[in-house]
Chain A
Amino acid sequence: MLRATLKSLLARKVRLLLSGLAVVLGVMFVAGSFVLTDTLSRSFDSIFSDAYSQTDVTVAGKPKVEVSELDGESVPAPVPASAVDTVAALPGVAQARGMVAADGATLIGSNGKAVGSFGPPQLGENWLGENALTQLREGRGPTADDEIVINKGLAEAGKVAVGDRVGVLTLDAKQRTFTIVGTFGYSGDRDSLGGVNEIAFTDPVAQQLMLGRTGLFTSIDVKGTDGTDPATLKERVAAALGADYNVRTGEEAAADDAQGLKDGLGFFNNILLGFAGIALFVGIFLIINTFSIVVAQRTRELALLRAVGASRRQVIGSVLTEAVVIGVVASVIGTAAGIGVGALLANLAARFADGLSLAGIGVPPVALIASFAVGLIVTIVAAVTPALRASRIPPIAAMQDVATPDRPLTKITTLGAIVSAAAGALLGIGLYADGGLMLVAGGVLLAFVGVALLTPVLSRPVVGLLGRLFSWSVPGKLGRLNSGRNPRRTAITAAALMVGIALVTGVGVIASSAKTSIAGSIDSMDAQLIIQGTQTGPRPPTFDPTVVERAKAVPGVRDAVGVASDLAKVDGEQQFVTSVTDAAVIPAIYGSTAVAGDITRQGPDQAIVNAETATERGWAVGSVLTVQLTRGEEHRYTVSGIAPTDKSIGEIMLPAAAMADFAQPTLSLGFVRLDEGTPVASVQPQVEALVADNPLVSVIDQATFTQQQSDMLDQVLVMIQILLALAILIAVLGIVNTLALSVMERTRELGLLRAIGLGRAATMRMITVEAVVISVFGALLGVVVGGGLGAAVVRALRDQGFTDLTLPWSTIGIYLAVAALVGCVAAILPSIRAARLNVLGAIAHE
């Protein structure tokens, strides 16, 4: 029996190739994500162990606010110079040096533009001289306060050289000019450590610019005397300094720091796996269809097996065995391809982040396990229904053509309605009752299954209607009839395409609604100019609070306000907080009124919170909040007003004085209100002049601001579209597959059509019409389902500022047009095959 199964599988390998291909692509995605993230993660490991290779023990202040990895990095409390002396005096310490290294130093390149980095920090630090790791490439270390050395990678990126005078932006938000006296690199001829940009100053300059005042360090770098165990040294240092310090061995520090990046990579990996999941979900549709069609085509063969004594279970076993074989083969190929793709992407990433030397491509066991598990499970799950159907073929079918009457669609439709209703319930709870993302995702998945089950019923009228567009010619009419003659087959094929299209449409609806909502809220703001930085690194660029004060003095300006933001610990929980130079201006700009209390005034110990945060955390006017900022001591604020959520600046607005204790005590956003009737163009240049020394900060009008926001959303949208492309590609394979199998099934019929005079071109047109009808049907379903899902999400987020529901009609139109095109492309191979049929052979075809 097994032998019969395997032989029959081999004989039909081409037919099953495409369904296997869907699994291959999905598994490739899974394996590729794991290999990519694992390789990068181990590469980062080596960077951090390199960075700490010269360190036995490192000492840093405990951060006042522990920031979760996804929100950024905790800023440790600075270490006073006295602590360095204490450590240096300990026995077993050969050398203890105070280090300054903080993110936020930006070089202005020779073209006057800031040199950005995507991801790796831009460190401003003190120059500690050369060692086995750090090596000067040119020049010397800085000795005067206006001298710096920079790493070679940064020098190349900014096209600057030793001897140049260059501008540097640091945390104090003012551009200063320095002379480059040297460049440095790292052992192994690396121009940077993993793409990090570094600017090294003399100690006092580094302290002043990066930590706010002299006499402070970020950490102490301790080197033990020969033969001193780092662990022992760590104990000794910790005992000497007390509980306020975080003392770690170099190894521990490297592992800790790497962990942060690994968590980020893990998150990234989960996103990739999510998209792989979608692709595989679509793959299931394809496999179900292939197996169903193959089972239908093998009716006589399977009936014979039943007639000569095979039990139902044996028939099910035989179909599932096929699934297992396909699953295994596809998993092997997919995993191999995934390792290749992962390695390729890791190499690209390494090239992009100059200086990241890859740790060698790694295939973690979890990649293999996940790939095979996913490949097998997907194939087997998809084969269950066709296997059951195969087992229901009566043995009598071996003797006569059992007329397979159109099985009624009542059962499948009822099931579809139930599943859809369940999906609606899940979505409702997830979206409106704050049931969480998992419920929403589950609801979306169920919705797809439900709609897929309803698709056969829908396919008759819709396909009929769509087909009318082509019915003007005989081949067109035949194609239309063909696409309608097996509603289940058409439905599954279309449903596979629906999933991908629905997701891109849904995201598109959310994005376009977000855009109009943002545009609307910006439009309604009474602030004609916005001062804002272009983010080029991990931290947003900032500007000095005096800019706002000076802007107020510009003729024609009625008012100006600046906003700084940071992460703080509020009542023990991490929370975004803002500090505003003048709280009274905010309601004036938004035209908002208080939900409770007073939001037009703010005393020195008062906080204004937005309505959503207040509800979430149970705060009311009069509640006392204990706030720990990045610097300084805990402070208590009393809630004095509650602002409407969509017309407030941040979750908790603290008074202007709090800004001094922020990680960056400078402004990241500013609003300028003009006197009524003052043309924007007349004021803009004068405000621009105020931030002219900072190329990262610009003054823009409302239209530009709106454009920037929507550009950002567009970028996200494009990323999602790219990641969903695989799911759509698999759906296209599904169309090819269905058509190819249908052509094979209708060999005799095609032969007849050709025999009675249907030309080759007409035959191809007939197949193409069928493909286009299926693909457009799938896209239509996707657009409707996706539009519905997107609209539901937008409505649910109304309180969060999604005031408008906008459907991206032009994008939807493009999706439909692309679907039609995709149908044509999918029809190419099957239609060529159909046209090439030998007429005589086809008619005699058994």
Chain B
Amino acid sequence: MTASDPVAARADDVWKVYGSGEAEVIALRGVSVTFQRGVFTAIMGPSGSGKSTLMHCLAGLDSVTRGEVRIGETTVTGLGDAGLTRLRRDKVGFIFQQFNLLPTLSAKENILLPLAIAGRKPDDAWFDTVIRTVGLQDRLEHRPAQLSGGQQQRVACARALVARPEVIFADEPTGNLDSRSGADVLGFLRDSVRQHGQTIVMVTHDPVAASYADRVIFLADGAVVDELHDPSPDMVLDRMKKLDAPAEVER
């Protein structure tokens, strides 16, 4: 990874086909997209548009049928399990809709889990910075069950940030949160991009959430159909309505 390389992740003509014969479903049809370093990107699209699939393929969680995915200088396509494990450990962070914290570990232990797995020592200064950013200073010894949903998701964010990955993939991070907690989470995701140059790719179907991003990519039927920069919620909603319309007609 070199700071001069402006591209954090990219997909080149990525196809994803599930099943075969009559059961064949084409989830992605030749998607090519580039994610600049230090940019907060939202991927939007109606249900079944392939947005989650695209994210899974970018993150190396799912294999592509054709095309190539790169994260930093690593070609993800074709990596074996060991390579993918190393990729997830060193270059990728995740934030999930369901938070996915280990219920038996304290907030602090959950945050440090990726580093513990990698056998790396946490950078204390950075850890403090992250904790302060997400505002968890006095919640570190709590178990997930003792935290509210918003707090849990902040722990999950901190977990993704603390390892300083090349890209953080967030899958509907506000899907399970009320609007205020959601706003908090989105707020410091944006802050971490602005202040620390973190790259974030977020899948969402919420126009308000998408409006926090620097850039919004719209997917429909497995292909990129549109793109917005510095969007407002209304702009996003507007585009989404257009995308949804043909789908409504089909039904």
Contact = CB atoms under 8 A, between A and B. Distances in A.
B96 A398 contact: yes
A722 interface: no
Interface stretch (B22-30, B98-106, B187-195, B213-221): B98-106
B90 interface: yes
Interface residues of B, number: 29
A11 to B, nearest CB: 4
Contact of B88 (A4, A8, A309): A309
Contacts of A11: 103-104
Nearest to A394: B61
B85 A311 contact: yes
A300 B100 CA distance: 8
A307 B88 contact: yes
A305 B103 contact: no
Interface in B102-121: 102-105, 109, 113-114, 116-118
A6 to B, nearest CB: 9
B112 to A, nearest CB: 10
A8 B56 contact: no
Interface string A1-38: 10110011011000000000000000000000000000
B100 A395 contact: no
Nearest to B85: A311
B104 A8 contact: yes
Interface string B20-61: 000000000000000000000000000000001000100001
Contact of A395 (B61, B103, B159): B61
B102 A4 contact: yes
Nearest to A391: B81
- Residue among A3, A11, A300, A307 with the highest chain B CB neighbour number at 10 A: A307
B82 interface: yes
Nearest to B114: A308
B182 to A, nearest CB: 18
Contacts of B105: 3-4, 7
A8 B81 CA distance: 25
A307 B56 CA distance: 11
Contacts of A396: 56, 61-62
Nearest to A8: B104
Contacts of B62: 396
Contacts of B85: 306, 309-312
A134 interface: no
Contact of A309 (B61, B81, B102, B117): B117
B89 interface: yes
Interface in B49-97: 52, 56, 61-62, 81-82, 85-86, 88-90, 93-94, 96-97
A305 B104 CA distance: 13
Given A3-B109, A4-B113, A309-B117, A398 B100 contact: yes
B171 interface: yes
A404 B17 CA distance: 19
Given A4-B104, A300-B100, A307 B94 contact: yes
Contacts of A395: 61, 88
A3 B116 contact: yes
Contacts of B114: 308-309
Interface in A695-738: none
Given A4-B102, A300-B100, A311-B85, A305 B94 contact: no
Given A306-B85, A308-B159, A4 B100 contact: no
B96 A309 contact: no
A314 B93 CA distance: 18
A681 interface: no
A398 B94 contact: yes
Contacts of B104: 4, 7-8, 10-11
A403 to B, nearest CB: 12
State the majority secondary structure of interface residues on B: helix
Given A1-B117, A4-B116, A399-B61, A306 B88 contact: yes
A99 B94 CA distance: 90
Nearest to A304: B100
A314 to B, nearest CB: 6
Interface in A747-773: none
Interface in A300-344: 300-301, 304-312, 314
A471 to B, nearest CB: 33
B116 to A, nearest CB: 6
Contacts of A399: 52, 56, 61, 94, 96-97, 171
Interface string B164-191: 0000000100000000000000000000
A671 B109 CA distance: 85
B162 to A, nearest CB: 11
Contact of B117 (A10, A305, A312, A398): A305
Contacts of B113: 4, 305, 308
B250 to A, nearest CB: 25
B94 A308 contact: yes
Given A3-B116, A8-B102, A308 B88 contact: yes
Contacts of A311: 81-82, 85, 89
A421 B135 CA distance: 65
Contacts of A400: 52
Nearest to B99: A304
Contacts of A314: 117
B81 A312 contact: yes
A300 B96 CA distance: 11
A201 B118 CA distance: 85
- Residue among B81, B100, B109, B114 with the highest chain A CB neighbour number at 10 A: B100
Contacts of A304: 96, 100, 102
Interface string A537-564: 0000000000000000000000000000
A594 to B, nearest CB: 74
A428 to B, nearest CB: 43
Contacts of A398: 94, 96, 100
A309 B56 contact: no
A301 B116 contact: no
A763 to B, nearest CB: 27
Interface in A390-440: 394-396, 398-400
Given A3-B116, A4-B109, A309-B117, A301 B61 contact: no
Contacts of B89: 308-311
A395 B100 CA distance: 12
Nearest to B110: A4
A387 to B, nearest CB: 16
A309 B228 CA distance: 33
A314 B159 CA distance: 19
A300 B103 CA distance: 12
Contacts of A394: 61
Interface in A739-793: none
Interface string B145-158: 00000000000000
A405 to B, nearest CB: 12
A304 B97 CA distance: 12
Interface in A176-218: none
Contacts of B56: 396, 399
A396 B171 CA distance: 11
B168 to A, nearest CB: 12
Contacts of A301: 100, 102
- Residue among B82, B86, B89 with the highest chain A CB neighbour number at 10 A: B89
Given A307-B100, A310-B85, A398-B100, 15 more contacts: A1-B117, A4-B104, A4-B113, A11-B104, A300-B98, A306-B85, A308-B88, A308-B159, A309-B88, A309-B118, A310-B117, A312-B85, A314-B117, A399-B52, A399-B97
29 contacts: A1-B116, A1-B117, A3-B109, A4-B102, A4-B116, A10-B104, A11-B103, A305-B113, A305-B117, A306-B88, A307-B94, A308-B89, A308-B93, A308-B94, A309-B89, A309-B90, A309-B117, A310-B85, A311-B85, A395-B61, A395-B88, A396-B61, A396-B62, A398-B94, A398-B96, A399-B52, A399-B61, A399-B94, A399-B96
Which 9 residue pairs of A and B lie closest in terms of their CB atoms, listed nearest first?
A309-B89, A7-B104, A396-B61, A308-B114, A11-B104, A311-B85, A304-B100, A309-B88, A310-B117
